[in-house]
């Protein structure tokens, strides 16, 4: 079932048959640079199970991002709850296979995820929480109309990683929509 679609892409829930396609992404050290290490098989499976649990509990999670032209899974994009400055916030996340970078797919998917968050889920604010060294991801968030709202430290694999919380609020989103209409 399609969750949301754009001109070139659509998202759907992942299942166990996506394990290898997911491993190809999460086991690439370049893709996982911001997470400090590429995942082993167990971590890929646990990541997949996390998303399956989120689909059941929350009705959303990181979905498979599919290129319409080839029906290939080129990455993940979706909406998950994350902790930021002591609160639970809804986050747009995106991770793409390396051979698919720099073709505008992340921003195309992130903009559609933002529309889904505001128009389907009715949320008031949506975030992207990004490690302070991840320029590519920050550029996607900025292009998605988000502003920096604060900073937080996340602890992954024994490392303290400063993150910026980018977000866009519903009134700003509605302003974007109105200014796009002549
Ligand atoms: C971040 C990521 C999803 C970007 O994907 P992408 O499809 O290449 O991004 P897009 O082509 O949609 O680019 C959107 C904007 O970001 C900018 N951008 C993309 N990659 C960039 C890079 N390496 N350095 C600087 N800017 C970059 C683009 O220039 C573009 O802006 P522009 O149109 O004004 O030029 C991809 O690099 C990725 O999967 N990285 C690893 C996983 C990750 O870090 N995910 C985010 C975790 S918070």
- pLDDT beyond 70 at 9: yes
Range of the structural domain that residue 143 is part of = 2-180
For ligand 1, whether the C-beta of 130 sits within 6 Å is: yes
Q: How many residues does the chain have?
A: 182
CATH number at residue 48: 3.40.630.30
Which atom of ligand 1 is nearest to 100's Cα?
A: 7
pLDDT digits (tens, 9 = 90+) for 125-148: 999 999 999 999 999 999 999 999
Residue nearest to atom 13 of ligand 1 (CA): 104
What is the secondary structure of 88-155 as a DSSP string? Answer: EEEEEEEEE-GGGTTSSHHHHHHHHHHHIIIIIS--SEEEEEEETT-HHHHHHHHHTT-EEEEEEEEE
- pLDDT beyond 70 at 181: no
pLDDT digits (tens, 9 = 90+) for 15-70: 999 999 999 999 999 999 988 889 999 999 999 999 999 999 999 999 999 999 99
Determine what percent of the chain is predicted with pLDDT higher than 70.
99
C-alpha 166 to ligand 1 mean position (Å) = 15
C-alpha 105 to ligand 1 mean position (Å) = 9
Work out how many domains the chain is built from and give that number: 1
C-alpha 8 to ligand 1 mean position (Å) = 17
């Amino acid at each position: 079932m399609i969750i949301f679609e754009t001109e070139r892409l659509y998202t759907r829930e992942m299942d166990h048959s996506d394990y290898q396609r997911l491993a190809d992404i999460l086991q690439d050290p370049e893709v996982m640079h911001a997470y400090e290490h590429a995942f082993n098989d167990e971590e890929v499976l646990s990541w997949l199970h996390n998303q399956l649990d989120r689909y059941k509990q929350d009705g959303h999670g990181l979905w498979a991002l599919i290129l319409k032209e080839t029906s290939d899974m080129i990455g993940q994009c979706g909406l998950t709850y994350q902790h930021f400055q002591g609160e639970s916030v809804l986050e747009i996340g995106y991770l793409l296979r390396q051979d698919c970078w720099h073709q505008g797919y992340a921003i195309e998917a992130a903009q559609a995820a933002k529309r889904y968050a505001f128009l389907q889920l009715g949320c008031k604010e949506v975030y992207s929480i990004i490690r302070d060294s991840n320029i590519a991801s920050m550029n996607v968030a900025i292009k998605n109309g988000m502003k920096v709202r604060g900073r937080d430290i996340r602890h992954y694999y024994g490392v303290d990683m400063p993150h910026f919380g980018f977000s866009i609020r519903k009134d700003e989103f509605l302003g974007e929509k109105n200014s796009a209409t002549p």
